[in-house]
Amino acid sequence: MDLGLTDRVYVLTGASRGLGYATAECLVADGAKVVLSARDADAVSAAATRLGGPAHAVGIAGDLADPALPQRLVDTARERFGRLDGALVSVGGPPPGSAAGVSDEQWRQSFETVFLGTVRALRTVAAALAGDGEPTDRARPAGGAIGLVLSTSARYPITGLGISNGLRPGLAGVAKDVADEYGPRGVRVVGLLPGRIMTDRNRQLLAASGDAERARAEAEAGIPLRRIGDPAEFGRVAAFVLSPAAGYLTGVTIPVDGGATRDL
């Protein structure tokens, strides 16, 4: 199936590695161009190089806690590639710990980056895709797609991830709200809920248990497919969601978790 990604342009945050990078790989493989951002300048530059360099990918160093970053990414996409068709907003997981056990400062920092940073990026890209502030006679019709990388904690609490349990459900609600507001102008918003996928974040969580092999076996026992996912498996789902092939999909959350989520 042709996803219709050829020459389309997407911005992706948190994309020097992990789920963001896996999605960028799938987009570029299908002919799209990407603007990547991550906090580490060297890492995001290297990621862009691996994806084919300036003709296919551009790397921008930045943190979602910076209010100026989303507009900078939108402007870079248009300046370098001449258009913008969507975004994947991904941010690293907040520190582990129970909701009652983490400090006020950890809550504040996580809110600024994980929650407010995501909301700011979402509304900036949505407005850009809807054509706010642009001439009405521009060559390309308004519209596009935004994927938010959330967590299965948006559906049910995960033991030991109290901040995520607090913030992710709120972001799912924000995504639905923005999908309703911008849907009439052709902008789609979808929440993606990765479960156990073997990223650096999950390696850290497994190692923090004190016995990574045992923790992995216990995690896999609770997944109907009996294995932890590969980042590419998430990336392919995200690339489809962002593509024109998913043009009637919006305002929903999609688990990518091997069947671990138990609600219908």
Number of H helices, E strands in the chain: 9, 7
Scanning 183-249, the segments in alpha helix (DSSP H) are 200-208, 212-221, 231-242
Residue 3 clears pLDDT 90, i.e. is over it = yes
| Domains and their CATH numbers in the chain | 9-201+232-255 (3.40.50.720)
What mean pLDDT comes out for the span 147-164? 93
What DSSP line would sit under 48-116, residue for residue? HHHTTGGGTEEEEE--TTSTTHHHHHHHHHHHHHS---EEEE--PPPPPB-TTTS-HHHHHHHIIIIII
- Reported confidence tier of residue 208, pLDDT bands at 50, 70, 90: confident
CA distance 189 to 175: 6
Residue type, 44: V
- Reported confidence tier of residue 133, pLDDT bands at 50, 70, 90: low
What mean pLDDT comes out for the span 256-263? 92
Beta carbons of 113 and 64 less than 8 angstroms apart: yes
- Residue 132 vs residue 94, higher pLDDT: 94
Residue 201 clears pLDDT 90, i.e. is over it = no
- Among 42-51, 60-69, 76-85, 90-99, whose mean pLDDT is lowest? 90-99
CA distance 120 to 195: 24
pLDDT 10s digits, 187-196: 999 999 999 9
- Reported confidence tier of residue 204, pLDDT bands at 50, 70, 90: confident
Residue 34 clears pLDDT 80, i.e. is over it = yes
| End-to-end Cα, the chain, rounded Å | 28
Give me the pLDDT at residue 135, please. 56
Q: What is the DSSP letter of 117?
A: I
Per DSSP, what are the bridge partners of residue 36? Answer: 12, 59
Residue 211 clears pLDDT 90, i.e. is over it = no
Backbone angles phi, psi at 170, to 5 degrees: -65, -40
